[in-house]
């Protein structure tokens, strides 16, 4: 057996090949371009890399063009956590020395000694990987939008509380196109107080509003003309210019989130697992796509539902030492999947009688809200795993048999 380790960087990569005894067979320093990738593939082929007998590769990342090239064919690629690789480095040197060629050798030896303890990258389909790209990008855009909205809210509290009061009546607050159009038309409270009904109605129409324009314009006019504390005129104008600059970033984030959401809605239903995922209570297109993005469609990725639960961070972890034993939540997990599970559990409480009964039972047992939701997420992963394995839809009676019997009685 021959094993390959690659220490990757932004412009160059170091490659090391070792045999089953740990003897270094070859090492290369390649560039991060098509020429470097060809040198790497030729090196692997020189040492017997074929589709029938592929050489396993260890690298400290799971993304990028280098990984895409390595995943061609049947070659197993192992994404080694950098923290784990650093622990392995201490096995070969106690002086704490570090070099890129040395790290490549350490990665190759990880596969030589402990390949059974590490997982190769899942063999997901191209469609599943495309959905993962879009779902993660949409999730990042949503987080970025909320972060910018929080920054804008903090700034408005300093000089423009009237627009915050106007936004409270609308869902999504500062992210609404109506409130963004109003802030663009009147960046300061002094200018907002001078807006007429006609100007307010025109701003609402530019934002795309079609109903209740006159009543909404009257409400906004009353809010803006109420008595509010003011900053000095020069300070207020300066804060208004700062707000407009931040508003440009927020509008770009809102546009990006909306466009990516449309792309997810177009790609996710095309996947064969979409029907099973959307059959679960509390799951829509966006949240279902996030679950598929993190779980994938490789049926051999998880040996059972317990492995998926541990990966999602929903199952507890036991720490025992001597006479002391503690059961706590998991801190090492897939954060994106865990976040999607939190939202899923929250929405399923109102969408599923069985989920609501399970949540109430955990609360009566003494769990806090977050702990009860995490327990519910852990409970729902089991049916999700089975439905994805067999291509079936969610069945309330099978997932929560006790709750269903009580409701029937």
Q: Are residues 359 and 349 in contact, defined by beta-carbon separation less than 8 angstroms? A: yes
| pLDDT confidence tier of residue 168, bands split at 50, 70 and 90 | confident
Query: Residues 370-380: pLDDT tens digits?
Result: 999 999 999 99
Query: Residues 34-75: pLDDT tens digits?
Result: 999 999 999 999 998 888 899 999 999 988 899 999 998 889
Query: Residues 198-250: pLDDT tens digits?
Result: 999 999 999 888 888 999 899 999 999 999 989 999 999 999 999 999 999 99
Sort 118 into a burial class: Cβ within 10 Å, 0-12 / 13-18 / 19+.
Answer: middle
Q: The tokens of 230 are what?
A: 């003011």
Q: The tokens of 364 are what?
A: 């009566």
CB atoms within 10 A of CB 15: 26
Q: What is the pLDDT of residue 319?
A: 83
Per the document, the length of the chain is 409
Consecutive H or E run containing 77: strand 77-79
Consecutive H or E run containing 327: strand 324-328
Looking at residues 382-392, what average pLDDT do you find?
93
- Is residue 406 over pLDDT 60? no
| Residue 317: strand pairing partners | 328
DSSP per residue over 267-295, as a string?
Answer: HGGGSTTHHHHHTSTT--HHHHHHHHHHH
- Integer angstrom CA distances of residue 83 from 90, 165, 224: 12, 48, 55
Query: Residues 334-350: pLDDT tens digits?
Result: 899 999 999 999 999 99
CB atoms within 10 A of CB 221: 19
Handedness of CA 120, 122, 125, 127 (dihedral sign): negative
DSSP per residue over 249-270, as a string?
Answer: HHHHHHHHHHHHHHHHHHHGGG
> Rounded distance, CA 74 to CA 103, Å?
25
> Rounded distance, CA 383 to CA 327, Å?
24
Q: Are residues 16 and 57 in contact, defined by beta-carbon separation less than 8 angstroms? A: no
Q: What is the pLDDT of residue 403?
A: 52
Which of 267, 270, 268, 296 is closest to 283 using CA atoms?
Answer: 268
**96: number of CA atoms within 13 Å, CB side?**
0
DSSP per residue over 379-391, as a string?
Answer: HHHHHHHHHHHHT
- Is residue 173 over pLDDT 90? no
- Residues 6 or more apart whose Cβ sits within 8 Å of residue 150: none
Looking at residues 136-144, what average pLDDT do you find?
95
Query: Residues 267-279: pLDDT tens digits?
Result: 999 999 999 999 9
Q: Are residues 138 and 260 in contact, defined by beta-carbon separation less than 8 angstroms? A: yes
Average of per-residue pLDDT values in the chain: 90
pLDDT-above-90 percentage for the chain: 71
> Rounded distance, CA 387 to CA 379, Å?
14
> Rounded distance, CA 350 to CA 323, Å?
42
Q: Are residues 131 and 293 in contact, defined by beta-carbon separation less than 8 angstroms? A: yes
Q: What is the pLDDT of residue 388?
A: 94
Identify the three-state secondary structure at position 78. strand
CB atoms within 10 A of CB 383: 19
Which of 94, 89, 97, 55 is closest to 72 using CA atoms?
Answer: 55
Which of 222, 182, 225 is closest to 204 using CA atoms?
Answer: 182
CA–chain centroid gap for 338, Å, is: 9
Q: The tokens of 51 are what?
A: 């589709």
């Amino acid at each position: 057996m021959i094993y390959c380790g690659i220490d990757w960087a932004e412009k160059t990569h170091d490659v090391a090949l070792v045999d089953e005894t740990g003897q270094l067979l070859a090492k290369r320093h390649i560039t991060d371009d098509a020429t470097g990738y060809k040198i790497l593939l030729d090196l692997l082929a020189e040492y017997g890399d074929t589709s029938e007998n592929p050489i396993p590769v260890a690298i400290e990342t799971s993304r990028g063009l280098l990984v895409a090239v390595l995943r061609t064919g049947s070659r197993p690629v192992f994404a080694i956590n950098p923290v784990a690789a650093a622990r392995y480095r201490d096995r070969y040197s106690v002086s704490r020395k570090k070099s890129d060629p040395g790290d490549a050798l350490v990665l190759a030896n990880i596969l030589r000694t402990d390949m059974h303890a590490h997982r190769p990258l899942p063999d997901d389909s191209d469609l599943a990987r495309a959905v993962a790209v879009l779902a993660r990008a949409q999730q990042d855009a949503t987080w970025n939008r909320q972060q910018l909205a929080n920054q804008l809210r903090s700034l408005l509290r300093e000089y423009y509380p009237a627009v915050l009061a106007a936004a409270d009546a609308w869902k999504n607050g500062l992210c609404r196109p109506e409130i963004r159009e109003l802030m663009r038309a009147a960046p300061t409270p002094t200018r907002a107080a001078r807006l007429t009904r006609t100007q307010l109605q025109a701003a609402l129409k530019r934002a795309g509003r079609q109903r209740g324009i006159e009543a909404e314009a009257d409400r906004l006019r009353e809010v803006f003309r109420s008595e509010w504390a003011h900053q000095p005129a020069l300070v207020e104008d300066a804060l208004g210019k700062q707000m407009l600059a931040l508003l440009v970033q927020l509008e770009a984030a809102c546009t990006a989130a909306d466009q990516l959401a449309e792309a997810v809605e177009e790609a996710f239903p095309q996947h064969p697992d979409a029907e099973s995922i959307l059959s679960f209570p509390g799951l829509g297109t966006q949240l279902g796509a996030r679950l598929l993005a993190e779980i994938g469609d490789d049926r051999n990725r998880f040996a059972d539902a317990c492995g998926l639960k541990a990966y999602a961070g929903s199952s507890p972890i036991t720490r025992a030492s001597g006479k002391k034993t503690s059961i706590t939540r998991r801190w090492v997990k897939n954060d994106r999947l865990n976040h999607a599970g939190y939202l899923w559990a929250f929405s399923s409480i109102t969408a599923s009688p069985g989920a609501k009964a399970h949540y109430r039972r955990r609360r009566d047992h003494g769990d806090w809200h977050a702990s009860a939701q995490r327990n519910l997420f852990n409970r729902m992963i089991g049916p999700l795993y089975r439905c994805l394995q067999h291509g079936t839809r969610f069945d309330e009676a099978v997932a929560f048999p006790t709750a269903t019997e009580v409701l029937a009685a």
